[in-house]
Structure 1
């Protein structure tokens, strides 16, 4: 946690609703609970590592009907609560909604949601946790949680968010995307991305194997050629493909 207190982070993120902040540290510092205007802020600091673990801690201990997942580099727009409520009113059968978030990095701004509509397995892989909202009860009833084997602090790079949304879809829950922006992310660098090296592609292969145990070769092949322009200065397509195929065996 970059801020010196839970309350400072709450204000920095422009939060106005109930919030549960999980902080990972070298020490167990217990929990706090305080009132901020009409909302309740809860915080917990514990001595364990792994982004999936912290997300599951929040998922288990939250008590709201609709939950949003967040990172500490997010700043929510002033009207985010009404935007979320309106979306769930417009899609009453939605179990999960991915909202638009503006990513600001290296002088560029990327918006994550391009259109409103249903999310399926074939178009779900592009959404990160910062876009996620869901009906907590429905997700827990399907025993869906964040993987402890992927994401920061696990040694396997990213992927806990992709596994989460695909597990939601495979459980039969309905997922929608909404173009409305709920937050901005000011990203000054990843905790796991160190360039398009062998480890990066091995991790991708491992993730594709976890996502598609029997059909992993097809997304590996697609990734190799679709994103070739991103990595071709660092590695050949053949080498990238080889690393991903090796990764799926790890």
Structure 2
């Protein structure tokens, strides 16, 4: 069994990112920049595919890497991740131990105390109720399982897309809806800087509007119910925006998704 790390990055001028991330496996790097160039080379004994492209958008970047990957298991990554020694063995060992698992999330410790990562203390199955806390850089999948199920990252959400972050949530939700067995794994495989968010500017009107769009994409006719459940859970944590105002903005987002994305009123 073989692992590839799928790195989404921007404006890299050399290959030093591989050392900074402590890459110890094969990898596919998609570097969104201002030129188109494809390189293949060996780094520390590992095969690297490096795509410098003029494209924009994190969803497109991850999909490009996924389509050019050829390993049994792929691990999505951002460029602020630093892996621990032996991470590849940890990921592959899990998939060998759990042959039914098609998707798994792993622990990465955030180095930014203001943006902590949820860390699992035991390995358990994921469901619709607990899969929304994991970013794409924590996700590993059996490549053939997700590609054959026609599961890819949405181009509507995330950096460089019309709506704010959520492409990772939508990806995991699609995996569940397609019946793929998913686990959260207690093993830590690295750290992530989380220095700044490219999209989050506070719990404002756009945040709640875009969350409504995201929930409409994920849950369809159940989106309003899921929104209400999430709001009741987070009502004290998410700032001072009144509950009714949050719901109004989110329901506006749901209507926009139905009207402009699906062509329905």
Normalized against structure 2, the TM-score is what?
A: 0.89
Corresponding residue to 2:250 among 220, 244, 248: 244
SS state of the match for residue 146, structure 2? helix
Count of residues paired in the alignment: 247
- Matched with 2:49 is 42
1:231 aligns with 2:238: yes
- Give structure 1 stretches of 5+ with no counterpart: none
- Give structure 2 stretches of 5+ with no counterpart: 1-9, 257-265
Corresponding residue to 1:143 among 145, 150, 159: 150
The alpha-carbon deviation at position 114 of structure 1 amounts to 3.7
Indicate if the aligned counterparts of 2:11 and 2:32 stay in contact, CA closer than 8 A.
Answer: no
- Matched with 1:202 is 209
Residues 90-139 of structure 1: per-residue CA shift (max 9 Å, x gap): 21111111111112224664343342111122221211101100110111
Corresponding residue to 2:105 among 98, 101, 107: 98
1:15 aligns with 2:26: no
SS state of the match for residue 21, structure 1? strand
Please show how residues 187-198 of structure 1 align to structure 2 within 5 Å: 187-198=194-205
Indicate if the aligned counterparts of 1:104 and 1:110 stay in contact, CA closer than 8 A.
Answer: no
RMSD of the alignment, in Å?
1.5
Normalized against structure 1, the TM-score is what?
A: 0.94
The alpha-carbon deviation at position 179 of structure 1 amounts to 0.3
SS state of the match for residue 240, structure 1? helix
- Matched with 1:4 is 13
SS state of the match for residue 244, structure 1? helix
The alpha-carbon deviation at position 183 of structure 1 amounts to 1.6
- Matched with 1:127 is 134
The CA distance in 2 between the partners of 1:225 and 1:175, in whole Å, is: 26
Indicate if the aligned counterparts of 1:59 and 1:136 stay in contact, CA closer than 8 A.
Answer: yes
The alpha-carbon deviation at position 46 of structure 1 amounts to 1.2
1:65 aligns with 2:72: yes
- 1:82–1:230: structure 2 CA closer, same or farther, 3 Å change rule? same
The CA distance in 1 between the partners of 2:52 and 2:172, in whole Å, is: 26
- 1:96–1:242: structure 2 CA closer, same or farther, 3 Å change rule? same
Indicate if the aligned counterparts of 1:101 and 1:113 stay in contact, CA closer than 8 A.
Answer: no
1:166 aligns with 2:173: yes
The answer to which of 218-227 and 70-79 deviates more is 218-227
Residues 38-83 of structure 1: per-residue CA shift (max 9 Å, x gap): 1011111111211100000000001111000000010011120111
The CA distance in 2 between the partners of 1:124 and 1:210, in whole Å, is: 15
